[in-house]
Amino acid sequence: MVNSDEADPQGGAARGTDGDRRAQLVDAAVDHVAEHGIADLSLRRLGAAIGVSHRMLIHYFGTKEQLLVEIVRTSEGRQRELLSRLRTQPGLSPADAARRLWQQLADPELAGQERLFFELCGQALRGRPEALPVPEGLVTDWLEPHVSAEVAAGADPAQARNRARLGLATVRGLLLDLLATGDRAGVDAAMEEFLGLYYGAEGRSP
């Protein structure tokens, strides 16, 4: 929870810059949505939950919709950071790194974040102005690190990009499947099948 501070949002050097404060609020909001979902979410309720006034949230984000966009973008950033850490973990194969990332993404505790992601993507595709920032980097931010890693390991750049796009689309498709059907066993089995196809023998589970 973020400590409440009803002082002028522009004042107070002890609280750091507006950017720092904004980042703290987004992080707290992401954690709240992960735990409680987005049902009946309002700025007033969210502010009360994370320890600030709804006026403070309006100051930093403008509207609830703009805050939701930041929640999605921050969640995506956290997931990319997790994948980066997994890839550099000693003794962990690329297939096992992908498997661990999938287990994290498919965790029921993240269902609220995943629903919000797909909801805002749909709004952006319908041209809703407040949701239009969501697709920015939606694919490229994920592709570039993956392509760079595969090219560094000797892969053909074009093939690496195609494979990265395929992997990203598969993960997102299976997450949508999971939200729609609730069939965790089915999507886990499908992911294992995909990892075997994608990584070959290395991707087969023991």
Shared-domain flag, residues 44 and 87: no
Residue 106 has pLDDT above 80, yes or no: yes
Report d(CA 116, CA 137) in Å as an integer: 17
Return the pLDDT at 13. Answer: 40
Shared-domain flag, residues 152 and 101: yes
Residue-wise pLDDT for 47-96, tens only, equals 998 999 989 999 998 888 888 899 999 999 989 998 889 888 898 888 99
Shared-domain flag, residues 186 and 141: yes
CA count, 13 A, side-chain hemisphere, 120: 27
Shared-domain flag, residues 192 and 115: yes
pTM confidence score: 0.81
CA nearest neighbour of 65 among 139, 135, 134, 138: 134
Return the pLDDT at 14. Answer: 38
Q: Which CATH number does the domain housing residue 28 bear?
A: 1.10.10
C-alpha dist (Å) from residue 34 to 75, 83, 94, 99, 105: 9, 18, 27, 21, 11
Residue-wise pLDDT for 148-205, tens only, equals 888 988 889 999 999 999 999 999 999 999 999 999 999 999 999 999 999 987 667 6
Quote the number of domains for the chain.
Answer: 2
pLDDT band at 17 (very low <50, low <70, confident <90, very high): confident
